[in-house]
Amino acid sequence: MAQATDAGRTVILTVDDDPGVSRAIARDLRRRYGGDYRIVRAESGESAVEALRELKLRGDLVAVILADYRMPQMNGIEFLEEAIGVYPGARRVLLTAYADTGAAIDAINVVDLDHYLLKPWDPPEEKLYPVVDDLLTAWRSSDFRPVPATKVVGHRWSAPSSRVREFLARNQVPYRWYSSDEPEGSRLLEAAGADGRRLPLVLTPDGTALTEPEPADLAAHVGLATAPSAEFYDLVVIGGGPAGLGAAVYGASEGLRTVLVERSATGGQAGQSSRIENYLGFPDGVSGAQLTDRARRQATRFGAEILTAREVTGLEAHGAARVVRFSDGSAIAAHSVILATGVSYRQLGAPGCDDLTGRGVYYGSALTEASSCEGQDVYVVGGANSAGQAAVFLSRGAKSVTLLVRGESLSASMSYYLIQQIEEAPNITVRTRTVVGEAHGAEHLERLTLRDEATGGSESVDVQWMFVFIGAAPLTDWLDGTVLRDRYGFILAGPDLTPDGRPPVGWELDRPPYHLETSAPGVFVAGDARALSAKRVASAVGEGAMAVMLVHRYLEQS
């Protein structure tokens, strides 16, 4: 039976079949929100639906619903489907265990899930309250009406469809996916006047139909900021990974007018990580998406602008100004620039891989595809932390996961805690000294030829899913001739610019470059794009903060 306190106010509803957990979350919610909201608690999906109907009859408003995933008779997703019919405008949160994150990702499409929280949520000040605060703000600003969802119609094994879904998921834009060969997908194609030969079709909340949209056009139609609000800033941060987000947070919080420019989605490679367990302050681990979401919200709260789907193609110095040029010909300028462009996964050079990218071959964790691997045989290529995190995550739902490693062991490139988890997972197999020789398939990946580098022998395996993490290349080609880079393309800065104590060629100031300053005064680098960087989330965030400190020093002396 549902229990309620403090009648007469807008409701926050929580449902969990474990009485202890139910009481704990109601207690935490009441402590923070009890003065303004009525906290209603239920211990089953059925009683929660009944409570919602009673509230509806009385004319009460429901702002947020938090539902546990694992409940008997009616699980959390099934309950939220029922709840939509009663209170379509209420914000929806799924409480999950670590092993159920795949179900939470599925729920984004099934019930327009607004957020999912991993249990335990302690401390609530860190994990629970920031999420609920944002959902309440969004609910109040929506006039309590349901937010129309973006709809994507495409083919299951279409690379463009995969790219669009990944773009929306990484930017945390709720969407519904419809296969073009299913009745509802066909109906949407017909309604939009599309013939189905050019996919994906994206139907945006404002009613616009986009066929095979480019990221910038898609971003503009789904509510992501793409245009700067000003022509001149104190600081432009290029790149939205941990280093760039760290720089944006510290820059904006310290009074600098800051804009962050990201070509795809904030988070970078870290944002695609299924689980980061060695980041300071998160003893239970945190997903890359959760960490990215928190950092992005933190940056915007301090006043930083975040532009998405804007590709930077040039950087020029004009007196004291640093001009950043975009691919569409427009530009913005600033007193200073932080380069946090990060790295991208190297492409697998084996024959067949290019043609099957997005159709069974994926680079990075491909969050939108992970849930489809349940009960399947999956191959992960790579021997560093990103590959290990993906293997552990995928093993929770896949029939088997085979980790292909070129080296002789994992110990040379992977953290010890991940190696332990891989060894303890019964369905993960590690094959060392093994590489992909060729990928085969017509419409999608069907088979791999594997080559044993120790013996020179090869074998063929049937597989539809391969995720590739084989090292990273810096995204710095556009900086050729602007700042000094090493032979691999990583940006040189600080002491690495002056190994013999002499300033770099063209340096005109009477001081040496600051620690993270490039060969262009006022232009700094942070994170993975920097030569000899640690390639860790914590160090990237730290460098972003340090770069802002050096920006202040540069501005004071300019």
514-527 pLDDT per residue, tens: 999 999 999 999 99
468-502 pLDDT per residue, tens: 999 889 999 999 999 999 999 999 999 999 877 77
Neighbours of 455 (CB within 10 A): 8
- CATH top-level class for 150-221? alpha beta
Which uninterrupted H or E stretch holds 109?
Answer: helix 101-110
Q: So what's the architecture of 353-470 in CATH?
A: 3-Layer(bba) Sandwich (3.50)
Where are the domains positioned within the chain? 3-141, 150-221, 232-344+473-557, 353-470
Mean pLDDT of 507-519: 94
22-73 pLDDT per residue, tens: 999 999 999 999 999 999 999 999 999 999 988 887 778 999 999 998 888 8
Identical fold, 150-221 and 232-344+473-557: no
232-344+473-557, CATH topology level: FAD/NAD(P)-binding domain (3.50.50)
388-439 pLDDT per residue, tens: 999 998 998 899 999 999 999 999 899 999 999 999 999 999 999 999 999 9
Q: Nearest CA to 92 among 103, 82, 80?
A: 80
Query: Is 0.75 topped by the overall pTM?
Result: yes
Neighbours of 506 (CB within 10 A): 9
- Residue 108 predicted with pLDDT over 80: no
Neighbours of 401 (CB within 10 A): 27
- Average pLDDT over the chain reads 90
The CATH superfamily label for domain 3-141 reads Response regulator (3.40.50.2300)
Tokens standing for 216?
């910038």
Cα distance between the two ends of the chain? 68
Mean pLDDT of 239-252: 98
Q: Nearest CA to 92 among 15, 9, 168?
A: 15
pLDDT at 117: 83
- Residue 115 predicted with pLDDT over 70: yes
